[in-house]
Every structure is written in C-alpha cells, then in structure tokens.
Amino acid sequence: MNTTVKTLLTGTALAVSLASLAPQVALAADSKVLLKVPVAFSTNLPSLGSPILKVADQLKLVSNNTLRMKVYEPGKLVAPFEILDSVSRGKVNAGFTLAGYWAGKIPASPIFSSVPFGPEASEYLAWIYYGNGLKLYQEMYDQAGYNVHVVPCGITPPETSGWFSKPIEKPEDLDGLRMRFFGLGGKVMEKLGVSTSLLPGSEIFPALEKGAIDATEFSIPSVDKNIGFHKIVKYNYFPGWHQQATLAELLIHKDTWNDMSESHQAQINQVCKASVADSLAQGEAEQFAVMKENVEKRGVVIKQWSPEMLSTFKSAWDEVVIEETSKDPFFAKVWQDLSEFRDGYKVWGENAFLPR
C-alpha cells in the first residue's frame, strides 16, 4: 500500500470516527435536565396557575424529552412565600411565582409583577423585553444576593379591583376594612385606612368565610370564580387600578441555569415567551363570559369606581412612590427607568390607538 493510499484511508477513518462521535457530543450538550417546580398558585386557576403546565408539556416536546419539569402544587414541596429562598439555596432548582411576593425582602420587586396605574400588558412587555426591564429584573436579584436566574413566563390582563360585602361610595367607606391586598397597591389602601394582609390564594376564602378579613382582591374574574369569592362577598369593583397587568416569573437556580446547554436555555426562553402570549390571550378571552354569569347566575353586582375614588387612589399612589423611591435606591433606579420609558411610550400610545 503506497503512502498516498494510507493517508487517504487514515483520513477517511478519522472522518468516520469523528462523525460517529458527533451525535454523542450533541447528546452530551443536551444531557437530561429535570426542573422541580413548586408553584405559588393552583394549576386549576386559568392564566395564573395553569400556564406552567403548558410550559412543562412544551419543553418536553421541543427538547425531545431532555428537558422536563415536575410541577408541585402550592405547599406540596415548598410554601408559596418560600419559593425564592428555596430556589436560591438550591433546595429546589426552579419555581413559578410572582416577584411581588418578595416585597418584604426586596422593595423593588413588586414593580416586576404589577404597577398601580401602570402599563397595560403590551406596554409592560415592551419595557421588559425591549427596554431595560429584564436587565433590571435580573440585576434586582443579583444585587440582593439571590442565586437565581429569572425568566418572565406568563402575564394576566387587568384584575378586578376587589370583592366587598357592601358598596364603597367614598374614601371614608374604606376606613377600618380588613382586606387581603397584593403588591404596591396594598400600600395605597393602607393610606386610606385599610388594614391589609398578603395571603396566598389558598388561604383567602377561609379567611373571608371566618371573618378574619372583610374584603379581598386576588385576580381576574375567571380565577376569582374558581376560588368562590362570590359565595361570600357580592360587590365586585372595577377597574383594577392596582394591577392592569400581572407578570409571572420562572425562577431557576443560577447554577442549574449555567450548567444547561445553550439549546436548553433557548428552549426555556422561547417557550416562556409563548406562555406570556398564551396566558394573556386566554385571560382576555375568558373574562366577559364569567362576568355575565356572575351577574346572571351568582348574584354578583359589578361596580365601577367613581372618578372621585380613582383620583383618591391615584393621589395616594403618588405619595407611595415618593416614599418608596426615597427609602430604597434600587427602587428609585427601576422607577426612574420605567418612568422614562413610559414618558417616551406616550408619543406612540397617544397617537397610535383609537380612543375608547
């Protein structure tokens, strides 16, 4: 055998060997990952808790079963208010929840779930994805010392403003009420004499039933119906000035995230973006039928806040913003960035859309 033939055969053998290794290299890059995901909300709550089940199904499909999620209902693995700490410490490697639950640990966190008198979903997502929102969102967790990677993974449309046992006609009617309230809107209500508490979803109905609270807000009508607030309190107020859009987060332990292949990371990012679109569409599609049924079959009285009441809420919110920005530098940083984005967005928003 001459030298040329030997060289050709050796080169061919090497090429075949490398080719045979390629699938193994690809498989090694996408080694199997299991995310154990405790959730803050029951998965039977549409647009709020249900999206993570669809995310789990889609990730299994697009990853060819190399990236899977096991979803745990609230309290089954981790209590809702312990998800952030549990993911950061590695007790679990992921969690599905709302950033606003961490207000006691990170004052700026509610800005990344909902903002009183804040942007609707389209403007909010514009800031998150194409402004500085997502960058600041991750920075918030990093500077607070949490070992997590955050991915927006769902969004709900405007919530109801609350369920009450009697009409609220003037600011004085709020004074002395005990009410479950979420996020920065709770600070607004406290300025108006309301005693607020932040209860997880599973504890709200029992608290109403036992008289521990007088009123509550929680979510969109389809979610509130499933919990059954209408069985106890009949006056349902709109608009939800405190939560015009509510962003959900998938938290992943940062070491787990960093160990993933770029393919798995991209799959999570894109499937979660699809979940954002899907949860919003589902939320918008389902509310009007529930509202009609609430009135016709469940005895609910739908009420609109008067201009006086909305002005009262807005004035109190302006005071809260001043207080929060003066107390916490990172809150001030995020608020300034969001405010600048919204000021710019007005040029588009005020010209592009038909008046309602």
Axis crossing angle, helix 133-143 with helix 121-130, rounded to the nearest 10? 70
The tokens of 200 are what?
């997880």
Q: Largest Cα–Cα distance in the chain?
A: 102
Sign of CA pseudo-dihedral 257, 126, 144, 35: negative
The SS3 assignment for 321 reads helix
Residue 172 is labelled as binding a ligand: no
Tokens 């709550």, residue located: 45
Residue 298 is labelled as binding a ligand: no
Residue 89 is labelled as binding a ligand: no
Q: How far apart are CA 123 and CA 211, in angstroms?
A: 38
Sign of CA pseudo-dihedral 135, 139, 142, 146: negative
Give bridge partners of residue 227 from the DSSP assignment.
none
Tokens 């008046």, residue located: 355
Tokens 């807005």, residue located: 314
Residue 96 is labelled as binding a ligand: no
Residue 218 is labelled as binding a ligand: yes
Tokens 């302006």, residue located: 318
Residues within the annotated binding site?
Answer: 159, 180, 217-218, 243
Residues within the annotated binding site for substrate?
Answer: 159, 180, 217, 243
Residues within the annotated binding site for Na(+)?
Answer: 218
